[in-house]
């Protein structure tokens, strides 16, 4: 839905491990076991939970640098 991001207060976005903003959100979650202002990311297939998805996507992003 295109309009959902304009009318829904808690718009979620796709986690992008290359963006510093998303990295900081993940770091805060890992240190505090909670999101700053609710979870900002949407779940993607084939993952079943958002923290696992973010951790795996970030790990794969960092492995590309090796």
Mean pLDDT of 45-57: 97
For the segment 3-42, what is each residue's pLDDT rounded down to a tens digit?
455 555 568 999 999 999 999 999 999 999 999 999 999 9
Q: How confident is the model at residue 64 (pLDDT cuts 50, 70, 90)?
A: very high
58: pLDDT strictly greater than 70: yes
d(CA 64, CA 60) in angstroms, rounded, equals 7
In the structure encoding, which two tokens stand for residue 35, read together?
């999101």
Q: How confident is the model at residue 1 (pLDDT cuts 50, 70, 90)?
A: very low
d(CA 66, CA 59) in angstroms, rounded, equals 11
The pLDDT, as a whole number, for residue 11 is: 85
């Amino acid at each position: 839905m295109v309009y959902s991001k304009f009318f829904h207060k808690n718009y979620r976005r796709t986690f992008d491990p290359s963006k510093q903003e998303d990295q900081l959100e993940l770091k805060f979650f890992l240190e505090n076991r909670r999101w700053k202002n609710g979870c900002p990311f949407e779940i993607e297939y084939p993952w079943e939970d958002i923290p696992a998805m973010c951790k795996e996507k970030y790990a794969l992003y960092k492995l590309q640098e090796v």
